[in-house]
Chain A
Amino acid sequence: MPRVRNAFKIRAADPPLIDTSQFLQLYCPVLLEQFDEEKLFSDRLLVIRGSPGAGKSSFLRLFEASALVAIHTNRDQGSTEDLVQALEKLRALTSDGPKALGLYIHCDGALRDVAHVGTGDKSPFLFNALLDVRITRLFLTALRQLQDARVLSLGPGFQLSALDASDVVPELFSKRLTLDEMAERCQIIERGFSAALNSFPDDPLPAEIRGHSRLHALSYLERQVRDVPALNNLRPVVMLDDVQDLYPDQRLHLRKELVRRSPIARWLAVRTHVYGLEEVISFQAGDGERGDSQEIDLDGALAQSSLFARFAANIVDRRLRATQFLEAAKLTDFKGYFQELEENLPASSVARVLGNMADEGADLRAGRGVLAKIDNALKVVNESPLNFAQLVELQQMLIGARRLSKRAQLPLFPDMEFPQPPDAKTEEAALLFVSKALRVPYYKGFDKFVGASSANVHQLLSNLAPVVDLLVHRAELDQALRISAKEQDAILRKRADDYYNSLVSHHRHGAAILQFVRNLGRFCAAVTYRPNAPIAPGVTGFGINRAQLSSDKARLDPIKTQVLTEAVAGNILTVRTIRQGTAGAENEVFYLNRLLCVKFDLPLNYGGWQHVSLSLLDRMMEKQLSTSEMSNGSRSFHWSEEGSAE
């Protein structure tokens, strides 16, 4: 199996740029295990949502005939075993060969630009014609690939069945044709479209392209698998990727065409959006056709921390095996390379932090017992300075005392009042506070690298790639394979800086997004580092009440809606619907991408968020606001248990 210097950097996750065996080795089947055959191959339309890098395209491309044939022919290789099992469970693959026949169509600029070919009223008809010919051509290619792999035999003189002749059936589908004849006709029509799409304003429309009022390719495929015995067991799947790149009326048209029930499976992959596009693409609610479609939310599936942890582990394991010098390393070895923080802290740093704690606690109205402890620690700081864990414990007590002090009613004996019992969240907040105060690494350990990936495959690989670079370098020099906590922290912070700095150039409305993120990050940090850690371990997002969103939607400037949509579509914000507060009240909570949490020294946990008004949201995109301005425009803090997002 070919190995590369650092397989975590490979961006070309699709064949053919990398060879098929490498692709199969790198593909992680954990996601496949989440779905069942009934859902994937149902007669209802399936909408697959996800942010960029969530793995939509790779998921779709796995079902293409070429990929399934490659898996089938390499099924004896140990590395494809789990992939084969997962695909067999879905009945996409059997021991006889592929059964699913994924026809992958990228909704590219050509499909979109058909809207500009000919006169405007012809464009939906031409859209149908182009889609029909693409689906059919892909079907032919897939049949040929199965034939070449000797898992399908069509015999000499094989002819495709025709649709019943009528006025509305396009000529392409109205006659029985051999594969070669059909391929030739498809090619002529596609060339016509290419010529039209590349034409100048004064060029005539090529004669070979003719529009038709509806999509016929699905009926045509249905006819083939029903009437042609050799094709009876095949399950063609029409897979349209990046549907969000089409024009709105094209998306509506597509929806109308594909939502009709059909034995031919139809999968649409779209980017996650907040609203706007979501309303157009949503087949689930309020469109009067409820029940005719179903949805897979890849972000939601991966957001389950246990699933993404498994997913990440599997991906890391596969990439390690493809990396020179590390191919023998197991995942547990790899995790072991991430070193913990060194215990010994300089007495001067400890004294500085204790001094800060003492100053900060000076005005405590309750739980003042902690001040005595700080004082005692300060007295002996040169002889026996506290270690990191002890400092965290003290910080935790200080947070507890601060919370007690904020109670409306003061205790009778403030020094004897005990703070609330410590919990894991407050401990994490204390860890964050102390790490920042001591300027010691907080973002360290394999789990933090996984956490900083926002449940996104590309981000995970990009976070780990520099770690692997260092390890490979050390392996080459015969040095010990370990990465210090300081190095880990520096790597993640550099990644965060790079990500933050790229926002403006990478995204449409990037300048407004950057402005918004800058405000939001500062706002979250201001709340997180309040001495009483109100939403421990920290606030990393904002929430809008869903009812408010629908009633006030008209009040949010459409351009700003676009900014928000772009931020969600670009994975800068992750949306989760959270039920909290009054019965049935739903909130759309927008969490910062976890790399942005690193940028603003925030914890990587999901959960803490704060309500904001639409008017504040509006201003946050426009200009830099002070944290007090933002606090005035925000309302209550909230904590949602991780995993409770729906």
Chain B
Amino acid sequence: MSRWSEYYSNSDFCGFWAERAKDEGLQVLVIFALGFDPRSLTALRCLAKLGLRDRLGYLALRLKTSAVFAQSGSVAEGLVEDNVTALNGLHVKRVEGILDVDTHDEEGHNVVGRQALRAVANGIALSLGKYTDVVVDISGMPRGAFYPLISYLIRQSDKGKFPNLHVAVVEDPLLDSQISGIEYGKADYLQTFRKQGTEKVIWLPLIGDNEVARLEKIHNEIGSSCIEICPIFPFPASSLRHADDLLLQHAELLFDGLLVSRDNILLCDEQNPFDVYRKIIDVHEYYQGRLSGALALGEVTTVVSPLASKMLSLGMLLAAIEKTLPVCHVEAGVYRVDKQNESALREGSSGVPAEIWLTGEPYVP
């Protein structure tokens, strides 16, 4: 039986914590990325209102991007400042740290995962034991950062460093459409999710809007060892046409360029990370059983690529952690917010954070 075959999630993060905060023994640490995303502070803002006072602490990872010239990210820089001001206004006393995390090194390689891990491991590894609950708010955090981070924290929790690990995420497709990732570098495996050897690959990319370029880049990285591609589309989704739209956007690349069989398409519930988690595990086990050692292919593994919403990406992460699956990804070098969208972003997100409880009380037999 898989680890999260039974799970706890709640679409109302604030409601869930209002109830939970009644426990006087609770000590909560929020880890979040302090970037331009207006959702960066959602979880902390919600918890700060619950009267936890000195039972609430935070660790902020201040993301440093590599825009060459100011115009690449000037609007985004203004939004970062807004978030910093808002953070100061929350008056949370217990600050574990505000740590700088470079997203890329001088050569342009994505290092956000390594830097985030190092920051957390060096910054608060010893303090983790003081908390009963750690909440990672992934709403404003790049996948390259929260994948290794959550993986690390699950292990720390499993080791007994702290009991409960939660994830908070705000999905806001309207807001997402006003932010565009640009200056994509080369595809690579995420920190702590590297491919282990020379196995042949079953590739499961999670397809989001306008991802042709990133799919091509990832395919270039794994191409010569890839023997099967099973693209994952969100269905059911908030818009029932979304999967169709995505299929049309990516049809030429998937079916003509990469010769994907139409039978290989997977559909997963957009709102439930545990659906995609379960399906990836099923597909992985299916191919392991059928192909490993067969047809002189040698070993076979499943590589996943999270190119869609944070919620689905979280489900993919859980499968990757459980089955030690490599994660191949391309992170944006810079995020661009057009001037005309600036005011909309300054108004913040209308999305409601969701709670996903990954380790601790619900899983104690």
Contacts and interface: CB of A to CB of B under 8 A. Distances in A.
Partners in one complex: yes
Contacts of A137: 198
A504 B194 CA distance: 28
A157 interface: no
Interface string B58-86: 00000000011101100000000000000
A197 B195 CA distance: 9
Interface hub of A14, A17, A201, A563 (most chain B Cβ within 10 A): A17
B6 interface: no
Given A12-B259, A201-B121, A110 B189 contact: yes
Given A9-B252, A109-B189, A15 B68 contact: no
A415 interface: no
B117 A201 contact: yes
A511 B334 contact: yes
Interface in B138-187: 148, 152, 155, 180-186
Interface in A261-307: none
Contacts of B184: 505-507
B347 interface: no
Secondary structure of the A side of the interface?
Answer: helix
A14 B224 contact: yes
A116 B114 contact: yes
Interface in B120-140: 121-122, 125
A248 B194 contact: no
Nearest to B71: A511
Given A116-B114, A511-B182, A201 B122 contact: yes
B121 A16 contact: no
A512 interface: yes
Contacts of B223: 12, 14, 17
B69 A512 contact: yes
B97 to A, nearest CB: 15
Contacts of A177: none
A12 B258 CA distance: 6
A486 to B, nearest CB: 23
B24 to A, nearest CB: 32
B213 interface: yes
B197 A190 contact: yes
Interface string B178-209: 00111111101100111111101000000000
A11 B192 CA distance: 29
A5 interface: yes
B188 A109 contact: yes
A194 B194 contact: yes
Given A110-B189, A245-B186, A9 B256 contact: yes
B185 A202 contact: no
Interface in B258-305: 258-259, 296
B108 interface: yes
Contacts of B114: 116
B100 interface: no
Nearest to B197: A190
A342 B213 CA distance: 37
Interface string A178-210: 000000000100110010011111100000000
Contacts of A199: 192
B18 interface: no
Nearest to A465: B256
A16 B227 contact: yes
Contacts of B256: 4-6, 9-10
A6 to B, nearest CB: 6
A200 B196 CA distance: 15
B182 A202 contact: no
Contacts of A116: 114
B109 interface: yes
Interface string A497-531: 00000101111111110010000000000000000
B253 interface: yes
B219 A11 contact: yes
A549 to B, nearest CB: 21
A16 B200 CA distance: 9
A631 B196 CA distance: 55
A511 B69 contact: yes
B257 interface: yes
A122 interface: no
A112 interface: yes
A61 interface: yes
Contact of B183 (A11, A191, A201, A510): A510
B216 interface: yes
Contacts of B185: 508
A158 interface: no
B197 A194 contact: yes
B333 interface: yes
Interface in A18-77: 18, 61
A116 B194 CA distance: 14
Give the residue among A6, A187, A200, A563 with the most B Cβ atoms within 10 A.
A200
Contacts of B155: 200
Nearest to B225: A16
Interface string A427-459: 000000000000000000000000000000000
Nearest to B333: A508
A412 interface: no
Contacts of B53: none
A197 B194 contact: yes
B241 interface: no
B183 A505 contact: yes
A285 B77 CA distance: 44
Contacts of B227: 16-17
A393 interface: no
Nearest to A502: B213
Given A9-B257, A245-B186, A512-B72, A15 B224 contact: yes
Contacts of B219: 11-12
B189 to A, nearest CB: 6
A11 B224 contact: no
Given A110-B194, A504-B183, A505-B184, A510 B224 contact: no
Nearest to B326: A198
Nearest to B119: A201
B143 to A, nearest CB: 15
Contacts of B186: 245
B249 to A, nearest CB: 14
15 contacts: A11-B257, A110-B194, A190-B197, A200-B117, A201-B122, A202-B121, A248-B107, A506-B213, A509-B68, A510-B183, A511-B69, A511-B72, A511-B182, A511-B334, A566-B108
Given A11-B216, A504-B183, A621-B69, 18 more contacts: A10-B259, A12-B219, A12-B258, A16-B200, A17-B227, A108-B221, A109-B194, A110-B194, A141-B198, A190-B197, A197-B194, A198-B193, A201-B117, A506-B184, A507-B184, A508-B183, A512-B72, A622-B69
